[in-house]
Amino acid sequence: MRTVPLFQLPVVLFPGALLPLHIFEPRYRAMLSDCVEGDHLFGVVPGNTDSDRPALGAVGCIARVRAVQPLPDGRSNIVVSGEDRFQVRRIVPSEKAYLIGEIDDLADLPDVQVPRPDELASLRTLGVRYAEALATLNDVERDPEFSDEPGMMTFQIASLLEWELPVKQHFLAIRSATERVARLLHALPSLLGSLEARAQVHRRASLNGKGGSPPPMTDALS
């Protein structure tokens, strides 16, 4: 059990994944400043439509600030990486402008069966193809690298998928790597077929719109 600043977002951060964020609200500017001066960690949790606080028991992911790009008006662009999952136990009373949550770690439970090597090989192949098609659509170079650890690999691949937010949130809460592997192997073929078709059309169209380079980010750990 520990406490972390909480950032409510309509996105899901997965362990092992990178996520760019734009920080503009005053409370989250303050949170970012405190995080960079401290341990560089905060918790990403889904918003609660019935409250300005996350629901107790909500599943989130610890974010580590990896890079910060300050903007002239006080806003910032940042990149975070996902670390451990957690559940919100309670909101801690605080004078801070942002919420601070008391959280419990949410690790995988032991699996009775582990994913077979052929299942993991198939999942990796599908994940690489998906990442490459996504890179084509976004006109970027990408050399996809996934963890050799099955649980982490499932999250890294899930972070790429064009799933609805509730589906991603449910996937984040699954505490069996074997179940997550099975769900991805079931979902990926149809998702991949659609994405690769779009990528092929995009490639043939030879779209080449490129803008100027943004201001450089700085390493938040330096």
Q: What is the pTM of this model?
A: 0.88
> Within this chain, do residues 12 and 86 fall inside the same structural domain, yes or no?
yes
User: Structural domain tally of the chain?
Assistant: 2
> Within this chain, do residues 52 and 99 fall inside the same structural domain, yes or no?
yes
Average pLDDT, the chain: 91
Q: What Rg, from alpha-carbon coordinates, does the chain have? A: 19
> Within this chain, do residues 136 and 90 fall inside the same structural domain, yes or no?
no
**What is the domain-level CATH number for residue 50?**
2.30.130.40
In a domain, 211, yes or no: no
> Within this chain, do residues 94 and 179 fall inside the same structural domain, yes or no?
no
> Within this chain, do residues 138 and 103 fall inside the same structural domain, yes or no?
no
HSE of 114, CA atoms in CB hemisphere, 13 A: 6
In a domain, 210, yes or no: no
In a domain, 221, yes or no: no
From residue 61, give the alpha-carbon distance in Å to each of 9, 88, 145, 168, 169: 11, 10, 21, 12, 10
Residue 157, pLDDT above cutoff 80:
yes
Strands (E), 24-94: 41-46, 59-70, 76-91
Share of the chain above pLDDT 70, in %: 91
> Within this chain, do residues 86 and 155 fall inside the same structural domain, yes or no?
no
Q: Residues 52-95: pLDDT tens digits?
A: 889 999 999 999 999 999 999 999 999 999 999 999 999 999 99
More confident residue, 145 or 118: 118
Q: For residue 146, what are the domain limits?
A: 117-205
CA distance 181 to 150: 8
Residue 216, pLDDT above cutoff 80:
no
